Amino acid sequence: MVNKVEVDLNAISHNLRVIKKNVDPDSKIIGVVKGNAYGHGLIDTARAIWTSGAEIMAVADLNEAVELRVAKIRVPIIVLGFVESSEFRRLLDFDIAMTVSDLETAHKLSLEAKRMNKWAKIHIKVDTGMTRYGFAAQEAVENYQKIQSLNHIKIEGIYSHFADASDANFSRGQIKEFQNVLFNFQQARIQTPMVHMAATEGLFKYQESHFDAVRCGLGLYGYYGFKQEMNELQSALELKTKIALIKRVSEGQTVGYRRTFTAKRSMKIAVLPIGYADGYPRSLSNVAEVLVDGKRAKVVGRICMNATMVDVTGLKCFQGDEVVLIGHQGSDKVDADEVAKWADTNSHEILSRISPILPREYHFK
């Protein structure tokens, strides 16, 4: 295998222990495995998270949820994203909970569940500032009561989501608004189901947002999503390739599409058989660094669909040698946070966009 992803399942288990140490003992762990488990590979990664102690799994869409069920992962599963009404039968057949953010969806789901003589499991979302999915906070109690009155609907949870956990004032405002919603439930004598709000950054920053459960995504894979002095988490994924070709470049010679790099001296260039089709972003052109022979080598020229060129002048390397794009080599490390900074994005995108076609190797001791 020339291009491959290596995943350390021990690191994921370790990260789950760190997360448990930082949340309330009674708070459940919802392992978020959307986006092909943030690029780590859905099934093997989800199974490791489940067996390491996560009580619930969360996915982006129904297809991911069904994949988990087919793989005999029997943990409760929540779909956080949109599910079409034409898919409700499959949702119910596989015993999967879904997010409800509007009354029409709830009505349609109730009718389908009644036809099938099954109970549909749902989590109701409240929008406290994300302005995406969710009922408006001031309408939450009224709509909850309407949904609660429907046939064959079981409300298992109510939740919200931080818009910007790095903004303490705004985030605490969201927490307060969600707490007000829950207080209104008490005033209306409604017994609330499982309450959850915090994702990775929120759970580490705002203990008051832990409630009954926390949704851990990025943290399970070794990243906080913010700068942390004491880094207890371990990154689990490494993206590797091999040198396909080494060639000499003369002073003044250009490299790659649109000739965006011009050699200022005689250079040695390594061609790597990996590019943006494999999930290595084009925005890393002329800025990213990879590890070759335990040392850093800079990307030169535009990253191609299936090729990347790097400057290996002065490095001891040969055709077939391993190159690390994300991960460790020697005493150095390039992590997803650093790659994200070069690409002007976040580590979530860098990890989740790694092509699912690339082979995954799993290590567990």
Per-residue CA distances from 216 to 29, 220, 254 (Å): 7, 6, 45
- Which residues does residue 292 pair with via DSSP β-bridges, in sequence order? 295, 323
Q: Name the residue among 195, 183, 159 with its Cα closest to residue 28.
A: 195
Active site includes 34? yes
* C-alpha to C-alpha distance for 313 and 161, rounded to whole angstroms: 48
C-alpha 174 chain-centroid distance? 22
The single residue of 154, 176, 247, 257 carrying the catalytic annotation is: 257
Q: Name the residue among 99, 112, 23 with its Cα closest to residue 61.
A: 99
Return all residues near 59 (Cβ < 8 A) that are at least 6 apart. 32, 33, 34, 65, 68, 77, 78, 79, 80
- Which residues does residue 290 pair with via DSSP β-bridges, in sequence order? 297
- Looking at residue 277, what DSSP letter applies? G
Q: Name the residue among 215, 212, 204 with its Cα closest to residue 182.
A: 212
The single residue of 28, 34, 125, 240 carrying the catalytic annotation is: 34
* C-alpha to C-alpha distance for 46 and 232, rounded to whole angstroms: 21
Per-residue CA distances from 332 to 15, 50, 130, 310, 328 (Å): 21, 31, 38, 17, 6
Active site includes 206? no
The catalytic residue positions are 34, 257
